[in-house]
Amino acid sequence: MTVFNPPTSSDPHGKEVFIRCRNVSKSYRKGKTIVTPLEALDLDVGRGEFLALMGPSGSGKTTLLNLIAGIDSPTTGELWVDKQNLASLKRGQLTAWRAKHCGYIFQLYHLVPILTAFENVELPLLLDRSLSRKERHSKVAAALDLVGLANRADHRPTELSGGQEQRVAIARAIVTNPGLLVADEPTGDLDRKSATQVLDLLREFSSEYRKTIVMVTHDAVAANAAQRTLHLEKGQLVEQVQITTSEPTEV
């Protein structure tokens, strides 16, 4: 197998490479057959870039997102995220890497219903024993403030709108200050106004805080909020659209 070096170079657009996939394939055994949702995929994503992934159902979008997030490992190939080769990490190491470096945003928020917004956002910080209670609380307050929900800290998920629930989930994803945010259909269950708020937040994290964001979406309007859209078809990248504007897009 070819061994690649960590991405220290710039991509063709002059950006520092943050995610680099080389010859990445992923296969699953389904009974007697082998399913290969991703095949020999190459991809570079710049630091601070906001990338949208589109493609038909079953084209491998979530599979790729889960590899980039360190939830799963490639069957073959190399996958670097910020100088760490994820393909070389064992399951426990991947879990530790993910807790520190990646925030995951789900379509259906995945908040714990019996906890308040504050307690939900605090959850990832409880894994970090080096933080005092006071430090934890100030990070949670800052994250809720960033998503515009400081005044909803004591509310439980059932007392929040879908858009507010998603913004709490975003606060939970960013509270550990990860360099990478991945989002699987983050606006799929939201009305257009709430979707716009969520997309504006993601744009802000990319442009103001240089978070690298990879978002799977079926919605072309949501994809238009990203800087670049890639299309997956049967596990291959088939089309690349470069969006040059950095102005907020009305959605």
Ligand X SMILES: Nc1ncnc2c1ncn2[C@@H]1O[C@H](COP(=O)(O)OP(=O)(O)OP(=O)(O)O)[C@@H](O)[C@H]1O
* Order of strands, sheet of 33-46, starting from the edge strand that comes earlier in the sequence: 33-46, 17-30, 76-81, 84-85
Residue of 6, 28, 93, 135 interacting with ligand X (CB under 6 A): 28
Q: Which long-range contacts (CB under 8 A, 24 or more apart) does 82-86 make?
A: 82/18, 82/19, 82/47, 82/179, 82/180, 83/6, 83/7, 83/8, 84/6, 85/6
Q: Is 172 in the site for ligand X (CB under 6 A)?
A: no
In the set 1, 2, 12, 30, which binds ligand X (CB under 6 A)? Answer: 30
Among 7, 46, 60, 70, binds ligand X (CB under 6 A): 60
Q: Rule CB under 6 A: is residue 186 a binding residue for ligand X?
A: no
Contact region for ligand X (CB under 6 A) — 58-66, 136-144, 154-162, 204-212? 58-66
Minimum Å distance from CB 196 to ligand X? 22
Query: Applying CB under 6 A, does 33 fall inside the site for ligand X?
Result: no
103 touches ligand X by CB under 6 A: no
Binder of ligand X out of 7, 46, 55, 157 (CB under 6 A): 55
Which string of x and - marks every residue 61-90 that binds ligand X (by CB under 6 A)? xxx---------------------------
CA distances from 107 to 74, 143, 217, 218 (A): 24, 20, 10, 12
Contact 164, 142 (CB under 8 A): no
Instruction: Tell which one of 6, 58, 148, 248 touches ligand X (CB under 6 A).
Output: 58
Among residues 2, 8, 57, 246, which is the contact residue for ligand X, using CB under 6 A? 57
Sign of CA dihedral 59, 233, 57, 223: positive
CA-CA distance, 65 to 99, in Å (whole number)?
A: 16
CB of residue 86 vs ligand X: minimum separation in angstroms? 17
- Residue 35 touches ligand X, criterion: CB under 6 A: yes
Least distance in angstroms from the C-beta of 186 to ligand X: 13
Taking the CA atoms of 86, 89, 94 and 96 in sequence, report the sign of the dihedral they define: negative
| DSSP symbols for 96-123 | HHHHHHEEEE-TT----TTS-HHHHHHG
User: Contact residues for ligand X (CB under 6 A)?
Assistant: 28, 30, 35, 37, 55, 57-63
